[in-house]
Amino acid sequence: MSQNNIKVAMLVYNMYPFSMGGAERQSLLLSQCLKENGVDVFIVTEGAKNLCHTELIEGIKVYRCYSYLNRIYKIGIKIIRIVKKKPILKTSDQSYSKLPFNPNDFDINVSYGYLKLIVHTIFLINALKILWKKRNEFDIIHVHVIPWTSFIGALIGSILNKKVLVKDSTMTGINKILEYPFGSFMRRFIIKHCFFIAMSKMIEDNFKKAGIDQSKIHKVPNGVVLPEYNISAQKKEKHSCLFVGNLYQAAAKGLDILFKAWSEVINEVPDAKLYIAGDGDIITFKKYLTTIGLSNNIILLGKVNNINELYRGKEIFLLPSRREGMSNALLEAMANSMAVIATDVSGSEDLIKGNKNGILIKKNDKNELATAIIGLLKYSNLQEFYGKNARKTISQTCNIQVIAHKYISVYEKLLQYDK
């Protein structure tokens, strides 16, 4: 079957202008590349009162799920909030001698009360309505998040008799389902009705442990656009490091470990600068860094639009995460020929091998992180060696064009698969 016959409906909960995580950004990037390669693709996502039900986002047709059910739900929420008024903790009430986040709160939190169940049910109804009308315009439902969105995709796929492909965007998604009400049933249903994308070996192993047959698992990493530029012409700020990630994910990204390690780094390299790019409570973090004496050496940039320029202008990329699926920021940094230091979590351990294209360290180890940073800051030749090999790795394995063709092959296999 040629790719010109492939028709795919992407099921993604969040899309612009809502906040988008790595899974959502990957879904849009992949959709664009698939379209360039002749695949018919559209996205179904959550809507809002003031948003169009149908629009083009970066060239991709997007259908937003929103109906009178959403309006009834929001009226109910307003009534509940009036009845149950809760005091709001103001920024000025916080103690800045402590971390502005709980470092133990790094896992994916399952919040699934009755109100959340209603939200998901409304999304199911709205999405089913859209996909029913468009049932002749797609053959595959491609879901980009586990757990609950995958259950909705599996249910709709079984109703419409469509193949469903589920991508686990984290290293624990297939197991987190069990923490939800009816979680065991949901997981069995998903396993029965879906095929799966594993971005990393860890995710693939989790699938197998959950009882998913190997024939239904396809290993495809995340993709990234490989930037074209003259590497030798780039000027990098001396003794500069970069972290990219939203501050609301600070615990998962290991920022507390990074702050502790950075105190050791500046004892050895006093002029070292750490740049942190990402949205979040910048004011709170700045006050905390001032209190611990790192405000002169750690610069909070907030949200950065032209991120590639930032990658090219700094020497070392740092990713001290406690958990990942496969970090988009790590892919981008490696694609921009940065020397990288990352922890041995899902995705990172698949990309960084044998100290040839970066440095892999144990998670939660501030001393190992500090030692690695200090060593790289002092040896620019090693930075260049790692950076060139990092870009080569991404070019060969994670170039979005390569990834799109891998997905096309997966789609073709799904359409030939006989249950």
Taking only the tens place, the pLDDT of each residue in 246-303 is: 999 999 999 999 999 999 999 999 999 999 999 999 999 999 999 999 999 999 999 9
For the chain, what are the domain ranges? Answer: 3-69+101-223+400-416, 231-397
In the numeric block, which tokens belong to residue 302? Answer: 């907030």
In the numeric block, which tokens belong to residue 398? Answer: 């994670």
| Residue where the block lists tokens 């699926």 | 325
pLDDT tens figures, 60-100: 999 999 988 888 877 776 776 676 554 444 444 444 458 99
Instruction: Put the strands of the sheet holding 40-46 in their side by side order.
Output: 54-57, 60-65, 40-46, 7-11, 140-143, 163-167, 194-198, 217-219
Q: Classify 3-69+101-223+400-416 by CATH class.
A: alpha beta
Residue 249 corresponds to which amino acid?
Q
CB contact set of 94 (below 8 Å; sequence gap of 6+): 100, 284
In the numeric block, which tokens belong to residue 355? Answer: 């100290």
Give the pLDDT score at 107: 80
In the numeric block, which tokens belong to residue 35? Answer: 């379209």
Fold of 231-397: Rossmann fold (3.40.50)
Distance CA 74, CA 54 (A): 22
- Give the three-state DSSP class for 205: helix
- The pTM score is 0.90
Distance of CA 11 to the CA centre of its chain: 15
Element (H, E) at 319: strand 316-319
Distance CA 85, CA 144 (A): 36
pLDDT tens figures, 195-228: 999 999 999 999 999 999 999 999 999 999 999 8
Q: Decide if 3-69+101-223+400-416 and 231-397 have a common fold.
A: yes
pLDDT, average across residues 226-245: 87
DSSP H stretches of helix in 110-196? 114-133, 148-160, 173-176, 183-193
∠ CA 272-278-281, nearest 5°, is 100
- The rounded mean pLDDT for the chain is 90
